[in-house]
Chains A and B, each alone.
Chain A
């Protein structure tokens, strides 16, 4: 593969991405999964290319940058106020629960935490797509599900920073934890400062020059620099990118700015999932089957409890809550990001975990309305008997 010109390779990969993405639309599968499967498929013949890895990294940075842009500080606080009990339960049950399970199966703490983090977040991209495709955006559970996803998006960058720092061979001592926390606070404070005193005043500038060719440069420039700064501090580029998005959202023009970088994301992000797929080689056999099976079962149980109890706390009816609970099981992009930082053995385990939960989640998402109806009928009958 070394003597294939880079342009030819990149072009061919883009064409293949186009083809599988188009096919995934027709097959109603999340494209994230299709890219990963494609990567797994060619993993044995694929030589890890640093160029592809770099493109993949840019994709992830832009993904979280756009997420950050959606949430100016005020709005983020407003959403968090309403969702934090459910969000916290999500952390305890899914991040905590899976970590404890991994510990019980004899993994060391850092590895267990990686497993817990992989198990934590529901996939935002799959959820948004499914809600739309299944015509459930107008339903009351949609707002709840999206709010949970936002809470996860806030926790995720911080979590990745911890994992990334541990991956650099540091031990998890209290001093190290405190230093890490200090760095995170520093980065967040920097972003708030720059956003509030810098970008907030650029509103007019952005409106005036939105159509000019230098605006995408500014937007992507800010995203990559702040992400890079985070790496330089020993944190995760995801946190940096997310904060960069938050900073730019203070201009009040995030929708327009978002459109400038969307094409970059659409081109680069598939490389990440594909690259992640290539790092999973099935040739070595599936490791730790009992742990994997337990984790997958817990993946469903943890999220179902979170969705149901969280939905009830959010003010949804039992029926709507149960529908929400069956609609947040799929893991996806975020888990893949964590897994890509893990040791090879855990990577394989996580990869299989992501693929299985994603398929299971998509299936249950489609079945959620009928499952909720079934549950509702049973529940009501029980009520009638009791009364």
Chain B
């Protein structure tokens, strides 16, 4: 993103930039500390569509949040790495399969496949992070997380 900086003598500084999704913005930092945002639909527009103001403290707080001081989403490249290795799948339990009508611990899913069941969808309801004593019924949809091959072997198990 390119930011054009210019002086507004006697008033403060002006920062103009184009965003990839939301048009053209101008930020003015006043000498007294106030921040004023102006939004232009197109960079060529000569009048702002709307504007808002933040005082010095508000601007600093929001600035810190935007920087990621409190919460940092996983960066794009890390997310890709994560997705390449770990899969989250919804798997339908066929009636004839070996794990149907067994408790999760009886079915020994973790031992056999390595997958973790993080949820069960049953008759339109979701059982989140089910207990190991939960009985898997035919027709359930298991929400399972694991590596690619682990998920694959659970899928095989559910096919029967």
Contacts and interface: CB of A to CB of B under 8 A. Distances in A.
A75 interface: yes
B11 A137 contact: yes
Contacts of B48: 135, 138-139
Contact of A255 (B6, B31, B40): B31
B51 interface: yes
A116 to B, nearest CB: 25
Contact of A140 (B7, B11, B31, B46): B46
A128 B9 CA distance: 10
Interface in B35-55: 36, 38, 40, 46-48, 51
B38 A138 contact: yes
B10 interface: yes
Contacts of A110: none
A254 B16 CA distance: 25
Interface stretch (A31-39, A141-149, A176-184, A302-310): A141-149
Contacts of B14: 137-138, 143
B117 interface: no
A137 B46 CA distance: 11
A79 B47 contact: no
Interface in A111-135: 124, 128, 131-132, 135
Determine the interface band of chain B, counting residues with CB < 8 A from chain A: 10 to 19
Given A317-B46, A319-B46, A369-B47, A137 B7 contact: no
B26 interface: yes
B38 A135 contact: yes
A137 B8 CA distance: 9
A147 B38 CA distance: 21
A258 to B, nearest CB: 8
A320 B26 contact: no
Q: Do most interface residues of chain B lie in helix, strand or loop, or is the interface mixed?
A: strand
A333 interface: no
Interface string B96-119: 000000000000000000000000
A71 B31 contact: no
A77 to B, nearest CB: 13
A150 interface: yes
A150 B46 CA distance: 23
Given A135-B51, A138-B38, A143 B31 contact: no
A57 interface: no
A236 B48 CA distance: 42
A70 interface: yes
B18 to A, nearest CB: 14
A128 B47 contact: no
B24 to A, nearest CB: 10
Interface string B45-69: 0111001000000000000000000
A198 to B, nearest CB: 24
Given A138-B26, A143-B6, A149-B9, 8 more contacts: A124-B10, A128-B11, A135-B48, A138-B48, A142-B8, A146-B8, A146-B11, A317-B46
5 contacts: A67-B10, A75-B7, A124-B10, A143-B8, A149-B9
The 6 A-B pairs with the shortest beta carbon distances in the complex, nearest first, are: A138-B38, A138-B26, A320-B46, A146-B9, A137-B28, A135-B51
